[in-house]
């Protein structure tokens, strides 16, 4: 599979990924207070391509990633799934390399590679030995400008994407519910559209659609090169200029998206499915991100999500699972790295045979208590220390380091924002967390999702 997108995952797996990225996303730092996070080196090629280099000399290996500042939320109207479809097609060959040859060359040289699509970006990566970096740079630069597509290649791959949708969405009740909840959450913004696409629109995508999208968005001045590993910026720069710097800049279709109106009514989505064996409950709230809306609330919301949902010592787990025994799991998540408005979520699974209504009543009571009494200074300080301490263990990951910068830069943030994460989290106060909770956790901004067995099936 060429796919690593959050929009098409089931609720459980989506939350796990979001929780992981929220924890380590901007937190690769030890407990030492004002240390820098990655100390990257950055430069920009003459054609406008941004380059980020993070040195990590623990092993003679590098992670090479190219991120395009375009995702599913930038597709033409009626062409849902096109961004992810093109991601698949980018492996189908160029004027110099036939279909599948890209992957075969990477494998022959001991590397691994893949790609991913989200609402805000599309990315491609390879992990290789340091002395094979130039090979993958040449391959990636080639397909940035020389992609060859024909109906003979495109139409069978469209069937592959259809099968992917069937296996990841249509055959997964939790994923179907997540898709419907997201579609209801956003009234006009394209975040409401699933990354993998609606079936009827996916079926209508053509070779020309893919080529037009490719020509409109895939260019060096709309891309970010991120290399993490056993290399310095001085060593990388001549290679970047040799392979990417010679590609001419092009006029890029600007990223213009509609403004999401203020929500005015709570919404509810209930899905009954005969394949469901265990009911589940979730609620998401429209929330600011680090780039859109009341951005000053984003860091307090990160802390709030940890207080509510950080494992077995969190507020929700203790209240619903340990004390009241109305749930077998409960938690919270916040995905604040988005170009536009984000979401803050709560979830819980009732005990087997338990009543979802009882669980929801208990959850509502906990939220009401939070909004009335607030969090304490002690809770906030403890969680902040835990966030910083846990994150130190993720520093060795070349992939995650690159992904952090890619997600940030394609969401309109800066390298400086990444490096400032520890100090910004440390500065969060209980008063700020309480203010953010009261601003975001309001009924009119919420969508409640309930997944139930269909006893008639």
Reduce the DSSP state of residue 28 to 3 states and report it.
coil
Question: DSSP label at 166?
Answer: I
Pull the structure tokens for residue 5: 């997108």
> Annotated catalytic, 87?
yes
> Which residues are registered as beta bridge partners of 227?
53, 64
Which residues have a Cβ under 8 Å from the Cβ of 184 and sit 6 or more positions away? Answer: 192, 267, 269, 447
> Which residues are registered as beta bridge partners of 332?
346
CB 244 within 8 A of CB 253: no
Kindly name the residue from 55, 87, 235, 419 that is annotated as catalytic: 87
- Which stretches within 206-296 are classed as H helix? 207-217, 233-243
Pull the structure tokens for residue 412: 């309109």
CB 15 within 8 A of CB 396: no
Pull the structure tokens for residue 357: 């209504």
- List the end-to-end C-alpha distance of the chain, in Å, as a whole number: 32
Pull the structure tokens for residue 250: 């092009």
430-440 and 356-373 helices, crossing angle to 10°: 130
d(CA 196, CA 145): 24
Which residues have a Cβ under 8 Å from the Cβ of 398 and sit 6 or more positions away? Answer: 56, 61, 62, 63, 127, 228, 229
d(CA 73, CA 120): 6
Render 95-147 in DSSP notation, one character per residue.
Answer: SSS-TTHHHHHHHHTT-EEEEEE-SS-EEEEEEEEGGGHHHHHHHHHHHHH-B
Render 2-14 in DSSP notation, one character per residue.
Answer: ----STTS-HHHH
The set of catalytic residues is 87
């Amino acid at each position: 599979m060429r796919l690593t997108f959050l929009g098409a995952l089931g609720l459980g797996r989506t939350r796990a990924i979001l929780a992981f990225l929220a924890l380590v996303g901007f937190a690769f730092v030890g407990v030492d207070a004002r240390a820098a996070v990655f100390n990257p080196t950055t430069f920009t090629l003459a054609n406008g391509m941004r380059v980020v280099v993070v040195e990590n000399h623990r092993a003679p290996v590098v992670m090479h990633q190219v991120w395009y500042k375009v995702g599913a939320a930038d597709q033409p109207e009626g062409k849902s799934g096109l961004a992810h479809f093109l991601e698949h097609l980018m492996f189908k060959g160029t004027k110099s390399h036939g279909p599948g040859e890209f992957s075969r060359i990477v494998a022959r040289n001991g590397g691994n590679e893949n790609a991913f699509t989200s609402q805000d970006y599309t990315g491609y990566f390879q992990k290789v030995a340091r002395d094979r970096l130039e090979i993958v740079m040449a391959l990636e630069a080639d397909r940035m400008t020389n992609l060859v597509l024909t109906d003979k290649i495109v139409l069978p791959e469209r069937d592959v994407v259809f099968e992917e949708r069937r296996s990841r969405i249509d055959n997964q009740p939790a994923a179907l519910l997540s898709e419907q909840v997201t579609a209801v959450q956003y009234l006009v913004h394209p975040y409401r559209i699933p990354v993998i696409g609606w079936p009827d629109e996916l079926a209508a995508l053509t070779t020309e659609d893919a080529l037009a999208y490719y020509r409109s968005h895939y260019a060096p001045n709309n891309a970010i090169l991120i290399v993490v590993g056993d290399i310095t910026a001085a060593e990388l720069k001549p290679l970047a200029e040799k392979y990417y710097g010679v590609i001419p800049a092009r006029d890029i279709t600007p990223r213009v998206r509609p403004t999401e109106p203020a929500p005015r009514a709570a919404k509810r989505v209930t899905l009954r499915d005969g394949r469901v064996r265990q009911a589940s409950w979730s609620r998401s709230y429209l929330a600011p991100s680090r780039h859109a809306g009341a951005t000053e609330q984003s860091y307090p919301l990160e802390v709030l999500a940890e207080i509510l949902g950080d494992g077995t010592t969190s507020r929700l787990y203790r209240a619903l699972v340990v004390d009241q025994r109305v749930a077998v799991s409960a938690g919270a998540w916040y995905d604040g790295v988005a170009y536009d408005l984000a979401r803050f979520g709560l979830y819980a699974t009732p005990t087997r045979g338990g009543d979802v209504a009882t669980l929801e009543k208990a959850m509502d009571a906990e939220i009401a208590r939070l909004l009335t009494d607030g969090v304490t200074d002690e809770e906030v300080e403890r969680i902040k220390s835990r966030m910083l301490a846990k994150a130190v263990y993720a520093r060795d990951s070349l992939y995650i380091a690159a992904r952090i910068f890619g997600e940030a830069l394609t969401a309109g943030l800066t390298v400086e924002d990444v490096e400032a994460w520890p100090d910004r989290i440390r500065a969060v106060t209980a008063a700020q967390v309480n203010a953010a909770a009261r601003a975001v956790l309001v009924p009119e901004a919420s969508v409640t999702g309930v997944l139930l067995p269909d006893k008639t099936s």
